[in-house]
């Protein structure tokens, strides 16, 4: 039912008895200026009432004046996720969505407060051109009973208190009052269906009689004076109410659905409405490339358009825009993460694109005893210039003058030899470093050790560094990050060098750790960020972040989730990464 234009905020949802007047009146609820609490036992009609309210919002408003957010802990509202006014439908299958909806609503509240100024929503909405927001939680008990959502219960209370006058109305259902009564001062409209006498009294503060077990039957406080009543009428007292049955949106022949499709310009060929509010997407459990292309949102005018060297690896959780690395701008990246959390998958995505955008580059794989890079090396070596270092080997070393010696070298020493002979000379700047003696032999004159490469003549190379050796607190190993890496990074743009640290480890030496962190431009974390920051503390690039905020703002990661951190821009984004292996 749609009322006249003077009462567009009201929705008729049933009938209520007025015993003193021996009559029944239409029961209206205010969908703009009040929050609505709906209590009821199982199968009492709570979900039917929610559906009726959603339908009513679609009838009385449009996509310029209303947006609906659904947080469905009961699983009964999924059919409404594609309705024209539903901006977002989130269930509790992924904790991130629960937290995400509160971030969105807090942003809306802040914007409304700024745009409305000193006016409340009813007085200022037309001038400020602000749409109304309805936030619906089905089964609030599941939300308040979960310890992991405790930080967001405070945010929920603040939305209940502050949202009403600023264009955000809250509607919830609950089966029990436990843990919920603390919010009730912010709910002008209370509806209770098929409960015990004690529960009715707890909700309304007035003794009421239990009713029969009839779906949709219960009590509600009446906030609008009924038409045609002469004399006193007890407003806000509980009256016996019978809720109407909602229209079935699956019935395409119904009057409601036909009108809905006409109003919101339904496209039968695609099964979608052309007139809708902004939609907030959700991810499948695994993000395939097909899913990625379907869900990816276009760049806006304010976004920096990446170059042709941009490697897309996933989508951020909020805007569903691509995250990745622009290798024209960021030449040092690191991947942190738990075992079996997708690090190899992420590296595979990067290398698949790099081999295409860097066809003339060499790929150097510096592995350790785990040989986790060997499979990727095998895939590339037939079509690209590849070098693999991963175990002790007896190799030829050539001295000045042409003498060749056979030396058994560790992977770390093999890597130093490669760097010295083909990228930057270690001979002049590191004469006191024993690494060259270890490579060429300590029994020879320093003059017989090759001078090494001219730093300006290195060939374009992608270094994939997974060896644990570079993080060890020994002089020989740590010198790579402390001294060698900074000099190579200085030449990276001129020589087209890229560095991927693919399973970055903890560095105990504070000075070396600081040097490593300062070299990083892009960091991927495939782990729960609050736990990671707590364990690593100031030892990682996340060390300066506020631990309390990280716990509140970001949920635990599902498989395929992680974080993208642009260090220079100080931009942290929770992301879903493309699944390729």
The residues that bridge with 240 in the sheet, in sequence order, are 219
Neighbours of 28 (CB within 10 A): 21
* Distance of alpha carbon 320 from alpha carbon 433, whole angstroms: 49
Instruction: Pick the closest to residue 334 from 462, 561, 524 (CA basis).
Output: 524
Q: Indicate the helix (H) or strand (E) that contains 376.
A: helix 374-381
Domain annotation for the chain: domains and CATH numbers: 5-273 (3.40.50.300)
Dihedral over alpha carbons 312, 313, 314, 315 (to 10 degrees): -40
Q: Taking CA 433 as the corner, what is the angle to CA 427 and CA 438, rounded to the nearest 5 degrees?
A: 85
Task: Please report the pLDDT score of residue 433 as a whole number.
Answer: 62
* Distance of alpha carbon 496 from alpha carbon 438, whole angstroms: 29
Q: Mean pLDDT of residues grouped by 10 in the chain (581 residues)?
A: 48 89 88 94 94 96 96 93 96 84 93 93 88 96 88 91 95 95 95 93 87 89 79 82 95 95 96 94 91 92 86 92 93 91 94 94 94 94 95 93 92 95 77 78 84 87 95 87 92 94 90 92 93 78 84 83 93 94 81
Residue with tokens 């927001």: 133
Q: Kindly give the residue spans of alpha helices, DSSP state H, lying in 140-196.
A: 140-144, 150-163
Task: Please report the pLDDT score of residue 8 as a whole number.
Answer: 55
Q: pTM score > 0.85 for this model?
A: no
* Distance of alpha carbon 136 from alpha carbon 36, whole angstroms: 9
Task: Please report the pLDDT score of residue 407 as a whole number.
Answer: 93
* Distance of alpha carbon 19 from alpha carbon 24, whole angstroms: 8
Task: Please report the pLDDT score of residue 71 as a whole number.
Answer: 96
* Distance of alpha carbon 4 from alpha carbon 352, whole angstroms: 61
* Distance of alpha carbon 413 from alpha carbon 441, whole angstroms: 12
* Distance of alpha carbon 88 from alpha carbon 282, whole angstroms: 8
Task: Please report the pLDDT score of residue 1 as a whole number.
Answer: 35
Neighbours of 164 (CB within 10 A): 20
Q: Is 535 helix (H, G, I), strand (E, B) or coil?
A: helix
Residue 432 CA: distances (Å) to CA of 367, 414, 429, 436: 27, 19, 8, 9
127 is written with which tokens? 């001038």
Residue with tokens 């929705």: 11
Neighbours of 306 (CB within 10 A): 17
Furthest C-alpha separation in the chain:
116
Q: What are phi and psi of 245, to 5 degrees?
A: -80, 135
Q: 489: left (phi > 0), else alpha (psi -120 to 50), else beta? A: alpha
* Distance of alpha carbon 135 from alpha carbon 170, whole angstroms: 5
Q: Kindly give the residue spans of alpha helices, DSSP state H, lying in 382-448.
A: 411-422, 435-440
Dihedral over alpha carbons 179, 180, 186, 190 (to 10 degrees): -160
Task: Please report the pLDDT score of residue 23 as a whole number.
Answer: 82
* Distance of alpha carbon 165 from alpha carbon 564, whole angstroms: 37
Task: Please report the pLDDT score of residue 3 as a whole number.
Answer: 34
> How many CA atoms lie within 13 Å of 106's alpha carbon, on the beta-carbon side?
13
* Distance of alpha carbon 430 from alpha carbon 441, whole angstroms: 16
> How many CA atoms lie within 13 Å of 486's alpha carbon, on the beta-carbon side?
12
Task: Please report the pLDDT score of residue 131 as a whole number.
Answer: 95
Q: Is 462 helix (H, G, I), strand (E, B) or coil?
A: strand
């Amino acid at each position: 039912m749609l009322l006249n234009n003077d009462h567009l905020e009201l929705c008729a949802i049933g009938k209520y008895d007025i015993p003193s007047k021996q009559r029944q009146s239409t029961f209206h609820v205010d969908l703009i200026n009040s929050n609505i609490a709906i209590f009821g036992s199982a199968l009492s009609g709570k979900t039917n009432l929610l559906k009726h309210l959603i339908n009513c919002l679609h009838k009385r408003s449009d996509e310029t004046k209303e947006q609906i957010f659904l947080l469905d802990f009961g699983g009964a509202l999924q059919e409404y996720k594609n309705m024209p006014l539903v901006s977002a439908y989130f269930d509790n299958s992924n904790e991130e969505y629960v937290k995400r909806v509160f971030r969105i609503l807090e942003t809306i509240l802040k914007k409304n407060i700024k745009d409305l100024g000193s006016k409340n929503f009813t007085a200022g909405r037309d001038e400020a051109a602000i749409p109304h927001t309805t936030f619906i939680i089905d089964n609030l008990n599941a939300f308040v009973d979960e310890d992991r959502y405790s930080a967001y219960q405070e945010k929920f209370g603040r939305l209940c208190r502050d949202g009403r006058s600023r264009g955000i109305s809250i509607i919830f259902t609950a089966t029990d009052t436990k843990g919920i009564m603390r919010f009730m001062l912010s709910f002008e409209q209370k509806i209770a269906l098929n409960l015990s006498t004690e529960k009715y009294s707890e909700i309304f503060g007035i003794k009421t009689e239990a009713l029969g077990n009839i779906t949709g039957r219960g009590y509600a406080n009446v906030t609008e004076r009924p038409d045609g009543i002469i004399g006193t009428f007890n407003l806000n007292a509980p009256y016996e109410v019978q809720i109407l049955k909602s229209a079935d949106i699956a019935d395409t022949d119904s009057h409601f659905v036909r009108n809905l499709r006409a109003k919101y310009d339904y496209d039968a060929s695609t099964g979608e409405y052309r007139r809708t509010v902004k939609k907030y997407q959700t991810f499948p459990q695994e993000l395939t490339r097909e899913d990625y292309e379907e869900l990816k949102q276009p760049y806006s005018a304010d976004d920096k358009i990446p170059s042709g060297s941009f490697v897309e690896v996933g989508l951020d959780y909020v805007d569903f825009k691509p995250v990745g690395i622009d290798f024209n701008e960021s030449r040092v990246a690191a991947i942190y993460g738990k075992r079996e959390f997708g690090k190899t998958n992420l590296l595979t995505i990067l290398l698949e694109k790099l081999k295409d955008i860097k066809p003339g580059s060499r790929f150097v794989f510096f592995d350790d005893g785990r040989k986790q890079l060997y499979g990727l090396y095998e895939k590339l070596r037939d079509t690209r210039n590849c070098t693999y270092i991963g175990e002790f080997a007896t190799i030829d070393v050539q001295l000045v003058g042409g003498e060749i010696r056979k030396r058994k070298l560790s992977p770390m020493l093999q890597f130093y030899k490669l760097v010295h002979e083909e990228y930057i000379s270690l001979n002049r700047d590191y004469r006191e470093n024993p690494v060259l003696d270890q490579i060429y032999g300590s029994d020879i004159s320093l003059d017989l050790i090759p001078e090494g490469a001219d730093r300006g003549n290195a060939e374009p190379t992608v270094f994939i560094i997974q060896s644990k050796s570079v993080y060890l607190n020994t002089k020989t190993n740590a010198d790579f990050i402390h001294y060698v890496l900074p000099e190579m990074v200085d030449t990276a743009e001129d020589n087209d060098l890229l560095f991927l640290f693919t399973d970055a480890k903890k560095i105990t030496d504070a000075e070396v750790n600081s040097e490593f962190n300062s070299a990083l431009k892009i960091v991927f974390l495939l782990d729960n960020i609050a736990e990671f920051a707590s364990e690593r503390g100031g030892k990682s690039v996340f060390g300066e972040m506020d631990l309390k905020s990280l716990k509140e703002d970001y949920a635990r990661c599902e498989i395929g989730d992680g974080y993208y951190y642009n260090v220079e821009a100080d931009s942290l984004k929770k992301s879903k990464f493309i699944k390729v292996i």
